Every structure is written in structure tokens, then in C-alpha cells.
Structure 1
Amino acid sequence: MAKTVVILGGAYAGVSLAHRLLKQTKPHVKDLKVILVSKNSHFYWNMASVRAIVPGALKEEQYSIPIEPGFAKYGPDSFEFVVGTAEGIDLEGKTVRVSVAAAEGKAAAGERAIAYDHLVLATGTRSVDAAMPWKAAGSGAEVLAVVAGLQERVRAAKHIVVAGAGTTGCEVAAELAYAYGKASKAKPEDRKEIVLLSGDPGVLGGDSLASSVAAELAKLGVETRPSSRVTGSRALEDGRTEVSLAGGDALATDLYLPTMGMAPNTEYVPPALLTERGFVDVDEAFRAKAAGAGDVWAAGDVVWKPRGSFVLTDKQAAGVAKNIDLALRGKPPVPVKTLPIDVMMVATGPERGAGRLGSVKVFSVFVYLIKGKTLGTQRLAGFVDGSAF
């Protein structure tokens, strides 16, 4: 009897986990079938979103390519790709209810119940503001439309406010300043004023990297305003945006880019499987803790354990793939090993950055080589076709 693993989510965790099962488990579990359900028909390399909004900086195919062709080599008996959205899980009946999107040459849109032997939740998180492209929110075409729209707004703006001074906010401000800031190579008529608002007294929430990143931003000409927490925003009649700050201050800008706030994509998950914050609650094997959910696993930002991170997601996906392999062979799962130390890398434009391995800071050139130079886009094709695993 076939063993079916259903994976919900077509981003870093879901796609890599599917390939790992098909390449490493399928050879000795011959009746294995993997079904990957993704709201997005394309793999969106969102790590590059901070650069993609700069007109001309990246081509579309550098950060978004179709998922399904990357799995064609496995055949329909081993793999199925479903473009759709999970709507609910029946733990007792071991089925997932999916709203399937219409696709050219395929079945019409509708609802489908997909049975599973093992289920992986890898639906990640989304930006609270759906108009921002820091995470994929919608179909491949919708994500590309958001990026293209922002490129045009960036091109037209003379004053840009980036709100939220976490990693994403710092990287967005740095990319914009590198291209258009006071210290950039842009023509005088093309230069823009870039303002970064930090709700805390410093960037990165006071992390030990804060002073290094702040110094890099200053070199690029970014105006960083500490202790400037955003309380709201509204459109003005002249097309600009007014950003309200705690304490009553406000500033008007041509373009407002909020980067703070991520929400887990877990509306379809039974509440018993979630933490108070709405993330999937997992044990050390990254299996759902709730009673009756022994065949449900999770990986990536949807667990936010200990936080969202590309490196952590990849380690978690590898660990869950190993544990499903063990379960399919009747063996107990093992703890998932991630990283022995906390790692943070912040790219401050295409040429520099700041980072640390635990408490040890690393040279800017190291961050440039590891992250800033390409933001990982050279790995996109290998992720989608499985050659990276």
C-alpha cells in the first residue's frame, strides 16, 4: 500500500523536504508518494526581495521560477504538485482540505480532500502588510506584480521611509541607499533621501551587531531615527503617506515601506497544534506536540523556533525528512539538530555587511561573500530542481 507524505508550503522548507524524501527515502521506500501543496506556483527567493524592489537590480528569474518543472524527473507515481491553499486538517481522518486553484490544461478550481500518512506543515509566515514583498503572499503572478509595482514607486520617490530596523528593514534601507542615497553613485537628480525608523533605541533590537550595522548604514547615507515607533499611517491627498509616531510626531514621505510584523500562515491548523502566538508547537523531533497528531510534522518559519532563519529552516527540513524516513521504516524519530550557536548576517548593500557567529563578530567581506554579493540567488535553481540536496 502506498505511503503518502503531504507537504503544505512551497517555499524553502517544503520544496527542500520534498526533494530530500524523493531522493533519499524513495529508493528504499518504493511505494512512497510525495504531494506538495503550494499557494504559489513559483518558488520565491524572498531573501532577495530587499534588492528586487530596486529597479534594474535583479531580473525576475533571479528570484522567482516555476516549482513544478523541478520535480518532473520523479514521475507522477512518485510526486504530485498541487497549486492550492490548505483550508483545514482532519487529524482523525488524516486528510487535508485544499482549495485548488484553476490552472491551464488542468482540472478546474475546486475543493479537494487529500489523504496522508504523514503531513508536514511548512506554510511559513507572511508580512502583516500584504502590499510588501518580504514574504510571498499569493500566486506567482501576484508576487511579481507587487515587486514590479514597488519598483515603479521607488523609481518615482524622492523621499522613502523604511519602518522597522530588524534585519529586513536594515537591508531594505541599505539597498535603497546604495542605489540612490547621498553617498551613492547615482546622478544628483536621481538621489533619494532614505530614512530608517527604529522603534528601539538602536537597530536590530539592541543586538551586539547593532553598532556595526548602524555604522554601515551611516556610510551609505541612511538617516536612522531611533526610538521612533510607528503607530499608524494614512494616505495624503497629494499621493504621499503620513507616518504617525508614538509621542505625536509625524512625517510625510513619497514612499512608506513597513518591514515590521510577521504573521504565521496557520489559519487552517487546528488550534490544539498551535502555540499562544499561533505558530505550530513541536517537540525536539519537530513533530506536533498535540495528542492525535503523531504523524504531523512542521519546519521553517511556521514554527519560529527559535526564530525565522534560512539556515535554521534548511536544518529543520533536513531533520524532518530524516525523521519521516525513520517513521516509514518503523523506527523512532531523533532530535533535530540545527545550529550550536546563534548566527546573524546582515547585508548592507551588495558590497558590505556585518555579522556574528555567536558572540564573535566576522569581517564585512565574509558577510559580503556569504550573503550580500548575491543574497543567495545563485542557489535558487538548485533548490527547485533538487540538485542542492
Structure 2
Amino acid sequence: MTKTIVVLGGAYAGVGVAHRLLKHTRPQFPDLKVILVSKNSHFFWNLASVRAIVPGQLKEEQYSLPIESGFAKYPADSFEFIVGAAEAVDIIEKTVKVSTSGGAGERVLSYDHLVCATGTRAVDTAVPWKSNGTYEETAAVLAKIQATVKTAKHIVVAGAGATGVEAAAELAFEYGKEKEVHLLSGDAEILGGDSLASNATGELNKLGVKIHKSARVDKATELPDGKTEVLLQSGEKIVTDLYLPTMGMAPNSEYLPADLLTDKKFVDIDEFYRVKGTKDVWAAGDLVWKPRGSFVLSDKQAGGVAKNIDLALKGKPPVVVKTIPMDVLFVATGRSRGSGRLGPVKVFSLMVYMIKGKTLGIQQLPSYVDGSAW
């Protein structure tokens, strides 16, 4: 009897679970079928989005590749790819309602196991830090940002978390004194006061980034001439050619019953990454935000979920999903340096550059799409 695994989300966690099940579990269960549902027909390597906004730095195929072709090596009856979005999940009937793209209408998918890996989205859809919609929508956002970056003389990056720091650094590294790059930190220090704050501040200062601390944005208003007026809570106003907010991520969890979510709308999971209050429903990636959203954590979580589904199909109990034993933070500061730590231990700038900043991981994109990473 066919066992159907429905995976929602076509990014790091979702694609990782789908490939692992098809490569390692299906040989033992020939009737296994994986259905992957993704709003985006392409895998968007959003780690590189901070560099993709700089015109001429990356080609599209370096950060965006079609998902479906990566699964072509599996038997046709073992995999189905649906470009669409989950609308509702019925955990009693074990069904998912999906709206498909291109006006094809709705489908109701039945599952034996469901994997929720729909991640998070940028609250402001005008920025490219996440794939907020379809491939076409994401490509259009990036093209618009690149065009504006070309002509802008004054750029404001709002939000001084890792994404904001990296975006400001990429722009300043590329343009130096040609353009003014301002970074607004709502907190008294960048990176939320992390122990890396002073190191990263020093790197940004070398690049000429103008850092505004305790500068929380109240609102941003587009002016008739195309510029943006940024009003800070202090009352200060900054007029800029390009406004890039990096704060504000929301989980893509609206399709799930409210009682399965935390107070912040992330999915509530147990130590096995099984969704609490359900049977045969699992979650991984930024959608669980445990302990935070992270590329490395998403991959480890995906591996754990795939393993537990494999065990469940064999009638065995799940195992605790283990990720990484310490809190790791690497922040690239342009294309030559960076700041990072492994737990409380800071690492050399060159190490951060070699591990992250040099390529932002884009060399791994093909192996994620075709499954050879696992």
C-alpha cells in the first residue's frame, strides 16, 4: 500500500527532507511517494540575497535554480512537485488543501505523514531577504532593488541583525565612498548586543558604514520623487534614495490550526520535531524557530525529521533530534572579512570569510537541488 509523505515548503528544510526520504527510505519502501509543495518553482538560496542586491555580483543561476529538475532521477511514481500554497490542514482527516498556481484551482492531498517546512517571510514584501512568493515575484523584487542600488547615492538599511549588517557591508564594500550607507540599529548595539557587536562594528567602520544606534524606525513613507522618508521613534527624519528594512520576519503558518502554534505563531514541536497535539505531523526549519532561524539548524532538523519518519514507517519509536551542541554566529562583512563565534569563543575574521563570506554558500545550491548534498 502506498505511503504518501506531503512536504510543505521548497527551501532548505523541505527540499532536504524530500531528498533524504527518496534517497534513503524509498529503497526500503518501494511504494513510498513524496509530494513536495512550494510557492516558488525555484530554490532561492536566500543566504546570498545580501550580495544578490549588488548589481553584477551574482548571476541568477548562482542563487536560484528550478526545484523539479533536481528530482528527475527518482521514479516518476515516487515524486510529485506542486507549485502552490497550503491553505488548510485537517489533522483528523489527514488532508491538506492546496491552492495551485496558474489558475489550476485547489487540490486536497491525503497524507500518511505531513512535514511543515514553510519557513518565514519578510513582513515587507519589497525586500528580497526571503522568497516571499513565486519565482517571478522574487526575481522582480531583486531586479527592482538592483536597479535602484545602481543610481542611489544614499542607502538606509534598517535593522542591525545579521541580515542588516551583511547587507550594509556588501553595499559599502562594493561602492566605498561612492554611496552613503547607513545602518539603523533599534538597540543600543548592533546584533542585539551580541558579544560579536564590537567586532562587527569595527568591520563596518572600516568599510565606511554609518551606524545609528538606538535608532528604531517608527514608519517609512515613500515621497513623490521616489525617495523614502524614514521617521525614527526619536523624531529624527532621514530621507534616502533606497530604504531596505531587514527587521520583521513572520512565520508562514496561517494554514495550520491555531492550537498547534506558539504565541508568536511558530509551530509548537516536541523533542522529536513532531508537532504537539498531532499524529504523523512534523515540522522543521525557520517555521519552528528553535532556537532561532538558521541554515545549519534547518539542515540538521530536516535530517532528524526524515530519520523519524523512516523509523515511524518501520514501526519504531522516534529519536530526539540533535542539531549542534553550541550557539554559532557567523556574520560576513563584505567580500574579504567577517565576525564570528563558536559558542562564546570568537574566531578569526579570515575564518568567517573562508567559511561564509567568500561565497555565502552558493556553491552548495546545485547539491541541495539535486540531492547530492545528502
Moved more, 378-387 or 232-241: 232-241
SS of the aligned residue for 2:16 comes to helix
Pick from 107, 110, 124 the counterpart of residue 105 of structure 2: 110
Q: % of aligned pairs identical?
A: 68
Please give the alpha-carbon distance, in whole angstroms, between the structure 2 residues aligned to 1:355 and 1:35: 38
TM-score under structure 2 length normalisation: 0.99
* 1:85 partnered with 2:72: no
Deviation at 1:75, TM superposition (A): 2.0
* 1:271 partnered with 2:258: yes
Please give the alpha-carbon distance, in whole angstroms, between the structure 1 residues aligned to 2:234 and 2:68: 50
The aligned runs of 1:162-241 (5 Å cut-off) are: 162-182=157-177, 191-241=178-228
Deviations, residues 320-343 of structure 1 (Å, cap 9, x unaligned)? 000000000000001000111000
SS of the aligned residue for 2:73 comes to helix
* 1:329 partnered with 2:329: no
Q: Please report the RMSD computed on the Cα atoms of aligned residues, expressed in angstroms.
A: 0.7
The aligned runs of 1:1-389 (5 Å cut-off) are: 1-102=1-102, 109-182=104-177, 191-290=178-277, 293-389=278-374
Deviation at 1:76, TM superposition (A): 1.8
Deviations, residues 73-107 of structure 1 (Å, cap 9, x unaligned)? 102211110111100001111010000112xxxxx
Deviation at 1:55, TM superposition (A): 0.3
SS of the aligned residue for 1:181 comes to helix
Please give the alpha-carbon distance, in whole angstroms, between the structure 1 residues aligned to 2:61 and 2:115: 28
Please give the alpha-carbon distance, in whole angstroms, between the structure 2 residues aligned to 1:243 and 1:29: 57
Deviation at 1:237, TM superposition (A): 2.3
Deviations, residues 222-270 of structure 1 (Å, cap 9, x unaligned)? 0001010001010122221100001211110010000001000001011
Equivalent residue number for residue 186 of structure 1: none
Question: Which amino acid in the other structure matches residue 334 of structure 2?
Answer: G
Deviation at 1:294, TM superposition (A): 1.4
Please give the alpha-carbon distance, in whole angstroms, between the structure 2 residues aligned to 1:242 and 1:333: 53
Unaligned runs of 5+ in 2: none
TM-score under structure 1 length normalisation: 0.95
Please give the alpha-carbon distance, in whole angstroms, between the structure 2 residues aligned to 1:99 and 1:347: 38
Please give the alpha-carbon distance, in whole angstroms, between the structure 1 residues aligned to 2:169 and 2:205: 9
Please give the alpha-carbon distance, in whole angstroms, between the structure 2 residues aligned to 1:65 and 1:27: 27
Deviations, residues 2-52 of structure 1 (Å, cap 9, x unaligned)? 000000000000001100001111111221110000000000000000000
Moved more, 234-243 or 220-229: 234-243
SS of the aligned residue for 2:253 comes to coil
Please give the alpha-carbon distance, in whole angstroms, between the structure 2 residues aligned to 1:247 and 1:53: 29
Question: Which amino acid in the other structure matches residue 287 of structure 1?
Answer: R
Please give the alpha-carbon distance, in whole angstroms, between the structure 2 residues aligned to 1:4 and 1:52: 37
Please give the alpha-carbon distance, in whole angstroms, between the structure 2 residues aligned to 1:318 and 1:98: 25
Please give the alpha-carbon distance, in whole angstroms, between the structure 2 residues aligned to 1:142 and 1:246: 32
Unaligned runs of 5+ in 1: 103-107, 183-190
Deviation at 1:141, TM superposition (A): 1.3
Question: Which amino acid in the other structure matches residue 337 of structure 2?
Answer: R
Please give the alpha-carbon distance, in whole angstroms, between the structure 1 residues aligned to 2:57 and 2:35: 35
Question: Which amino acid in the other structure matches residue 210 of structure 1?
Answer: A
Please give the alpha-carbon distance, in whole angstroms, between the structure 1 residues aligned to 2:10 and 2:221: 34
SS of the aligned residue for 1:337 comes to coil
Please give the alpha-carbon distance, in whole angstroms, between the structure 2 residues aligned to 1:100 and 1:140: 14
Please give the alpha-carbon distance, in whole angstroms, between the structure 2 residues aligned to 1:301 and 1:131: 20
Superposition misfits of 4+ residues, deviation over 4 angstroms: none
Please give the alpha-carbon distance, in whole angstroms, between the structure 1 residues aligned to 2:52 and 2:234: 34
Question: Which amino acid in the other structure matches residue 303 of structure 1?
Answer: V
Deviation at 1:147, TM superposition (A): 0.4
Deviations, residues 284-327 of structure 1 (Å, cap 9, x unaligned)? 0000011xx11100000000000000000000000000000000
